[in-house]
Amino acid sequence: MAQGTFSRRQFAKRFSAAMGAAVMAPEITKSLAALAAPRLPEGAEGDWIQLNANENPYGPSPKAVEAITHSESMASRYPDELEGRLIAAIAKLHGVEKSNVMLGCGSGEILRVADSAFLDAGKKAVVAEPTFEAVLAFARVMRAEPVKVPLTADHRHDLRAMLAASGSNAGLIYLCNPNNPTGTIVTREELADFFSRAPQHAIVLVDEAYYHFVEDKRYASAFEWFGKVPNLVIARTFSKIYGMAGMRLGYAVAAPNLIRAMSQYALWNRANTAVLEAALACLGDEAHIADQRKKINGTREWLCKELEGDGRRYIPSHANFVMVDVGGNVEPLIHKFEEKRILVGRKFPSMGNWLRISVGTPKEMQTFVETLRALAPAQSAKVA
């Protein structure tokens, strides 16, 4: 096939996806809006505490801030050269080739293009329930069949059940590790067993947005299996520990054929000069990453001790957020917090009594705990 051309099947798939997106646009917009974190009210002024979107309250590395400041010299030029440098840096970081790496406008774009590349009408998209919902929202554009597999009793991925639900028609299996919103992990042993059983016809997409916060020795990145599992795609982001959620940059690492398949659906020049410069600086600042992990995990541990001291149920987390059982429908409590100028996580329908709290600064978390005690006095309970 000549360069620049594509098959009838590829044309049909793209045309179908485009028409599906047009027809289903209101539904998709509604789906994406439902999974978005609560935002500051329009016209909001003054100090608000934002514990709703799993962001890093400390922001990016000082080296990244300096790089952003100095990026104006390249602002009038397309960032092709910088994209190449960042792809090379990511490849070096993970010990892979540049052809294994693809950038995205946040890891959200990685999920979207993976769905576009690997899902057709009627194909199954298999996910845990609950997990990060964006992959299913994008799958609906492809008219894929969503398959939600409940978590285990200890709020973790039920990998055996997910494999059983996949069958011969699975197009994509999505693992979020650590999982959003529960903060739980799939262990090295469990991943090894899963990969030994995973179907070769389905893409396994492992979302490691919260990888950097994990300190549990039982955990393993999917990179341990990279090169051994040909249908593996790994997604990472600069939004969490790197503190650049507002700048929108993520990436995928996969076999070259999978990268090429996803790249067909990606934007050109999907990253801007400032964020590319910042990302390069972040990757070179390992001390800052260690400092952020220590700060955020330390504050999370403090929060959990306070919750446990109050007799509240919570899910032990390996990420920068914690799920707390509030004993009833969480929605009214979310609105009460907003009245106190505190934004907290949204309601997850399958865990309607649980409130997801992002880890903020120590001062912010102290205010949150005091407000929680005032709004929802604790019931006698234990750690989940």
Q: Where does the chain hold its CATH 3.40.640.10 domain(s)?
A: 62-284
In CATH, what number does 62-284 get? Answer: 3.40.640.10
Tens of pLDDT along the chain (384 residues) come to: 333 444 545 544 554 544 454 445 455 545 554 555 566 666 565 699 999 999 999 999 999 999 998 887 778 888 999 999 999 999 999 999 999 999 999 999 999 999 999 999 999 999 999 999 999 999 998 999 999 999 999 999 999 999 999 999 999 999 999 999 999 999 999 999 999 999 999 999 999 999 999 999 999 999 999 999 999 999 999 999 999 999 999 999 999 999 999 999 998 888 899 999 999 999 989 999 999 999 999 999 999 999 999 999 999 999 999 999 999 999 999 999 999 999 999 999 999 999 999 999 999 999 999 999 999 998 644 555
How would you write 83-105 as a 3-class SS string? HHHHHHHHHHHHCCCHHHEEEEC
Cα dihedral: 297, 298, 303, 305 (round 10): 120
Fold topology of 37-57+287-375: Aspartate Aminotransferase, domain 1 (3.90.1150)
Question: How far from 315 is each of 93, 236, 255, 261, 282, CA to CA, in Å?
Answer: 32, 23, 35, 38, 30
Query: Which one-letter amino acid corresponds to residue 9?
Result: R
Domain with CATH 3.90.1150.10 in the chain: 37-57+287-375
Q: Are 140 and 146 a contacting pair, CB within 8 Å? A: yes
Pairing mode of beta strands 314-315, 321-325: antiparallel
Q: Which amino acid is at 139?
A: A
CA 133: distance to chain centroid?
A: 9
Q: Which helix (H) or strand (E) holds 49?
A: strand 49-51
Instruction: Report d(CA 114, CA 75) in Å as an integer.
Output: 30
* DSSP E strand boundaries for 95-231: 101-104, 124-129, 145-150, 170-176, 203-207
In 3-state terms, what secondary structure has residue 129?
strand
